[in-house]
């Protein structure tokens, strides 16, 4: 696998993901599991964040300690399904700001269509974690990254639950500077652009719309 791709194969994540894949898992459990996995993945995605040394006073003495004091983070979900990953991440990175990018995939062309974009005004100064559970053709993630770059974003990581090999290749070709974090890389895309074996339509399963 390309070194810009990290597969987070922790047993807790894999166990929870298997329950999500099961077609008999309902929306309530699906949402909760997605939130939990997003929180666990956030731990790994933030692993290389730079710490600053600050002086603090413990009950015993003055000391130098490490903190993420100057770190500015933005979590940007791709609507709708990316919303299901935001709360879990905010539990670990509560100071992060949240931007939103609205994209849906046209069912005929499989091309992403943009309908919303609202980002923190200081997006160019932030480390950005773009989140979407599914990386299928890669069109939505790639367009999302283009939008972020147009607004001045420089440091972007993409965090997805399940990726198809085709999606990973497309994003890395379009954006060689972006690191991708996934819990699983599945086999292939079917004729309708769905990831196999995948988990179906993530947005519909989160929001109970089908």
- The nearest distance, CB 200 to ligand PRP, in angstroms, is 10
**Near ligand URA by CB under 6 A, which window of 16-24, 43-51, 146-154, 191-199?**
191-199
Which 127-146 positions form the footprint of ligand URA (CB under 6 A)?
A: 134, 136
Catalytic residue among 109, 122, 177, 209: 109
Does residue 106 carry a catalytic annotation? Answer: no
Binding of ligand PRP by 182 (CB under 6 A): no
Name the CA dihedral angle for 43, 195, 110, 192, rounded to a multiple of 10 degrees: -160
Q: Among residue numbers 36 through 95, which ones bind ligand URA (CB under 6 A)?
A: 81
The candidate with the shortest Cα–Cα distance to 179, out of 156, 153, 145, 150, is 156
Residue 42, class by beta-carbon neighbours within 10 Å (0-12 exposed, 13-18 middle, 19+ buried)?
buried
- Is 105 annotated to bind a ligand? Reply is yes
Q: Concatenated DSSP letters for 132-194?
A: -SEESSSHHHHHHHHHHHHTT--EEEEEEEEE-HHHHHHHHHH-TT-EEEEEEE-SEE-TTS-
Binding marks (x or -) toward ligand PRP, 76..95, rule CB under 6 A? --xxxx--------------
Choice among 6, 31, 46, 105 that is catalytic: 105
Tell me whether residue 156 is exposed, middle or buried, using C-beta atoms within 10 angstroms of its C-beta: 0 to 12, 13 to 18, 19 or more. buried
The response to whether 137 counts as a known ligand-binding position is: yes
Active site residue 105: yes
* DSSP for residue 81: G
DSSP-derived letter for residue 124 is G
Q: Examine the residue annotation and report whether 29 is marked as an active-site residue of this protein.
A: no
**Would you say 131 and 108 are in contact if contact means Cβ atoms under 8 Å apart?**
no
Residue 140 binding: pick among ligand PRP, ligand URA, none (C-beta 5-8 Å cut-off by kind) = ligand PRP
Q: Tell me the residue nearest to ligand PRP as measured from the CB.
A: 203
Does 31 belong to an annotated binding site? no
C-beta of residue 132 within 8 angstroms of C-beta of residue 140: yes
Q: Is 21 in the active site?
A: no
Q: Which residues fall in the annotated binding site?
A: 80, 105, 132-140, 195, 200-202
Q: Which residues fall in the annotated binding site for uracil?
A: 195, 200-202
Active site residues: 105, 109, 201, 204
Binding site for ligand PRP (CB under 6 A): 78-81, 104-105, 110, 112, 132-141, 167, 193, 201-203
């Amino acid at each position: 696998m390309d070194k810009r791709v990290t597969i987070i194969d922790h047993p807790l994540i894999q166990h929870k993901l298997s329950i999500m894949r099961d077609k008999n898992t309902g929306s309530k459990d699906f949402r909760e599991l997605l939130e939990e996995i997003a929180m666990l993945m956030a731990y790994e995605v933030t692993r290389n964040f730079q710490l600053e040394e600050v002086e603090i006073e413990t009950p015993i003495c003055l000391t130098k300690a490490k903190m993420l004091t100057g770190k500015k983070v933005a979590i940007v979900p791709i609507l709708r399904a990316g919303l299901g990953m935001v709360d879990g991440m905010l539990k670990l990175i509560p100071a992060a700001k949240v931007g939103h990018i609205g994209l849906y995939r046209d069912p005929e062309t499989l091309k992403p269509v943009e309908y919303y974009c609202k980002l923190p005004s200081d997006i160019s100064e932030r480390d950005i974690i773009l989140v979407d559970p599914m990386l299928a053709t890669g069109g939505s993630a790639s367009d999302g990254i283009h939008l972020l770059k147009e607004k001045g974003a420089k440091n972007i990581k993409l965090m997805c639950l399940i990726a198809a090999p085709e999606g990973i290749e497309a994003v890395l070709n379009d954006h060689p500077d972006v690191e991708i974090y996934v819990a699983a890389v599945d086999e292939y895309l079917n004729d309708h652009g769905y990831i196999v074996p995948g988990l179906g339509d993530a947005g519909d399963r989160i929001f109970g719309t089908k």
